[in-house]
Structure 1
Amino acid sequence: MSTHADDRRQVRQLRLVVEAEDYEAALAFYRDVLGLPEEAAFSTGDGARVAILDAGRATLEIANPAQKKMIDDVEVGRQVAPKLRVAFEVDDSRATTERLVAAGASEVAPPTVTPWQSLNARLDAPGGLHITVFQELSSPEERQEMDGFGTDATRG
């Protein structure tokens, strides 16, 4: 990222807040099974509870309807994702998918190699989230050389 862009950065953190009916199950799934470390937790005397889990680097992916459809087609073979899908980069998509399913997630589609060279699996997870776990199979530099990759600025 250029220095100019760094000077304009105002957002310091992306935090996705998920209301989970079964708080304990969702917390155990994301913290203990997926492996997101707990940064902080808060509770009040009236039973309100929240845990803030560290999900590493955050990005916000904005996709138009055609891109969303294409990703669903590649990863699942049909339209399944709601408007919001949460994706987690992991070291081993296959092993992570197995762990998450054993912990209560529903596999929507098994790990699939995508045209952008990642291994992506789809699951319905606690808290009502539709998630992707993905493993990058090529380096960022290798992906930059693929057709269609780059940034809007570099594509002209």
Structure 2
Amino acid sequence: MTHPDPPRQLRLIIETTEFDDAVRFFRDVLGMPEQPAFATEGDDRVSILHAGVATIELATPTHVHNIDDVEGAPRSAPGTLRIALEVADTVAATKAAQDAGAAEIAPPIETPFRTINARVQGPGNWQVTFFQELETLEERAERDGFTTDDARPR
């Protein structure tokens, strides 16, 4: 059953003691436009950054480990916050992040699911995966192994 009023926006709220570094990274380095946001004064600070279309990726620990393997990244600790951002050019996004001080976790690599992925360590120990789509969703849906969870054999 489809909900009659599905969500209109996903907002990921990240509490950080490295606020200035985080704003600089996401707004200035990654180019996410800042939206007006309300805060009072002093240390009450907030920045709402537009990140384009949002999706939620639910994954079992096995799948998370498989992605680590595909990306050539070390195993993530359970509960590690990982943000994945679709970009036009993974290599350029990774270079910009590294030029701004982000450490490379995994270099750009073409994945079996036809994306170019790379992972960096962002401010506050957040892992940021950049991914560049190499085919459309329609093309992907026609390939073996791509289906929805309810249609997947168990």
Q: TM (normalized to structure 2)?
A: 0.90
RMSD between superposed Cα atoms in Å: 1.7
Contact kept, 8 Å, 1:82 with 1:130, in 2: the verdict is no
User: Which structure carries more strand by proportion?
Assistant: 1
Deviation at residue 134 of structure 1 after TM alignment: 0.4
Once residues 86 and 20 of structure 1 are traced to their aligned partners in structure 2, the CA distance between those partners, rounded to angstroms, is 15
Which of 91, 94, 117 pairs up with 2:91? 94
Contact kept, 8 Å, 1:76 with 1:122, in 2: the verdict is no
Deviations 1:29-73 (A, max 9, x none): 100110111112333223210010011111110001111110000
Structure 1 unaligned spans of 5+: none
Q: How does 1:28-107 map to 2 (within 5 A)?
A: 28-80=24-76, 82-83=78-79, 84-107=81-104
Runs in 1 of length 4+ with deviation above 4 angstroms?
A: none
1:143 lines up with 2:109 in the alignment: no
Which of 113, 117, 132 pairs up with 1:116? 113
* TM-aligned CA distance change 1:82 to 1:119, over 3 Å: farther
Aligned residues: 152
* Partner SS for 1:133: strand
Q: TM (normalized to structure 1)?
A: 0.89
* Partner SS for 1:95: helix
Once residues 149 and 112 of structure 2 are traced to their aligned partners in structure 1, the CA distance between those partners, rounded to angstroms, is 19
User: Which structure carries more helix by proportion?
Assistant: 1
* Partner SS for 2:16: coil
